[in-house]
Structure 1
Amino acid sequence: MTGAPMTENQTVADEVTARDLFLGFLKVGTQGFGGVLPWARRMIVEERHWLSEVDFTDLLSLCQLLPGPNIVNVSVAIGNRFAGPLGALAAVTGLMAAPFAIVLALGMLYAAYGTSEALGSVFRDLGAAAAGLVLATAWKVAKPYVRRPEAMIVAALAFVAVVIFSWPLLYVVLVLAPLSVAWAWRLAR
């Protein structure tokens, strides 16, 4: 399935198998070496329609609170959701297989040609492209919440607390998480 992202109320039409999870996350791992979140969101929401925009953002938010790399946590959660423990294993294996092979190959190339000046400029250029992808993904992840004033207020409070007052993120989350959950529960009533 390809096309526009799912709306908030759409559901996945087809059953997602462990094979689907492996191949989908293998594609993500291959495309997004060094920063896979933009590619993962695109595959999960826009191409495969496994989750809606809001569901993806909610899952990503939860996975950011867990230890470990966010996208690995997302792959485990999605794999488990659709195909149980085997799906979680398939998704993580697919996600990690290509970067593992690429890192081994790059390590061998670096050992052979690491002193080349041209190689240094290639890595600087890749850094600029990665920064652009991160900004574009941040906008796509935030977009479903722009029309929700309560979400924007919580995000603004978190930004002010962390960036302006330099409060530790853990304390900000411990205060704002219960506040935002209570606010959402009250609005849902």
Structure 2
Amino acid sequence: MTTAASDHPRPHSPWHLFIAFTVLALQGFGGVLAVAQRELVDRRRWMTREEFVDAYSVAQLLPGPNVVNLSLMLGDRFFGWRGAFAAIGGMLFAPLVLVIVLAASYNQLASFPAVAGALRGMGAVAAGLILAMALKMLGTLRRNPLGRVLCVLLGLTTLVAVTVFRVPLAWVVIGLGTAGWCIARWCIARREGGQR
């Protein structure tokens, strides 16, 4: 990840990062990605949309939860290892406590129809949030080295592979991720060769 640009606001301290990621994590029922994009790019302006897409792409290739990887990278970007621990702590501490409390009381709560309905409704909301974030991110494709057409083709190929052919996500990331990387390298080399 590139160093933070001077014209971007930045967190004041690791504690500020911890609080920001705690607030972010507590908003993310069913998935934090859309909330992370809104908080980090639109609201706090710690990253541009392009930086978010780049960092999220790297976070997705690493083992573990994507947004936790993203928090680790962003914390390190601002405050080194102290920021990385603060961001990951904020991302995990409150949800861990909440999940332990809910797991302990789930057997009593699961029998209530309102609770079961609320859980089903949250799944639809999470899908809507992810779709909304994807639509917002489409604007970043303008400056992508692949160009819009190749990006859309890779995206559609990924969608078809996962939903129609039910290819395991690991194989999609390895196969199409490698293909995307190779095509991007070729496009960049071609563009740099044409500028000489």
Q: State the TM-score bracket (shorter-chain normalisation).
A: 0.7 to 0.9
Distance 1:128 1:111, change over 3 A: same
Q: Does 1:126 align with 2:122?
A: yes
Q: Runs of 5+ in structure 1 lacking a partner?
A: 1-8
Pairwise CA distance, 1:15 = 5.6
Distance 1:40 1:177, change over 3 A: same
Percent identity, aligned pairs only, is: 32
Tell me what 1:184 maps to: 188
Q: What is the Cα-based RMSD across aligned positions, in Å?
A: 2.4
* Stretch deviating more after TM superposition (15-24 or 122-131): 15-24
Q: Does 1:26 align with 2:19?
A: no
Q: Does 1:151 align with 2:147?
A: yes
* Stretch deviating more after TM superposition (35-44 or 179-188): 179-188
Tell me what 2:100 maps to: 104
Aligned counterparts of 2:29 and 2:178: Cα–Cα separation in 1: 32
Pairwise CA distance, 1:148 = 5.4
Aligned counterparts of 2:145 and 2:185: Cα–Cα separation in 1: 14
CA contact (8 A) 1:72 1:95 kept: yes
Q: Does 1:52 align with 2:48?
A: yes
Pairwise CA distance, 1:146 = 4.3
Question: Which one of 73, 79, 83 corresponds to residue 87 of structure 1?
Answer: 83
CA contact (8 A) 1:16 1:83 kept: no
| Residue deviations 1:84-132 (CA, integer Å, cap 9, x gap) | 0110010011011221122122113312222222221111111111111
Distance 1:156 1:116, change over 3 A: same
Pairwise CA distance, 1:75 = 0.3
CA contact (8 A) 1:11 1:51 kept: no
Distance 1:91 1:149, change over 3 A: closer
Q: Which amino acid aligns with 1:90?
A: A
CA contact (8 A) 1:33 1:99 kept: no
Tell me what 1:67 maps to: 63
Q: Which amino acid aligns with 1:44?
A: L
* Stretch deviating more after TM superposition (54-63 or 175-184): 175-184
Tell me what 1:5 maps to: none
Aligned counterparts of 1:73 and 1:148: Cα–Cα separation in 2: 22
Q: Does 1:12 align with 2:16?
A: no
Q: What is the DSSP-based 3-state SS (H/G/I as helix, E as strand, rest coil) of the residue aligned with 1:50?
A: coil
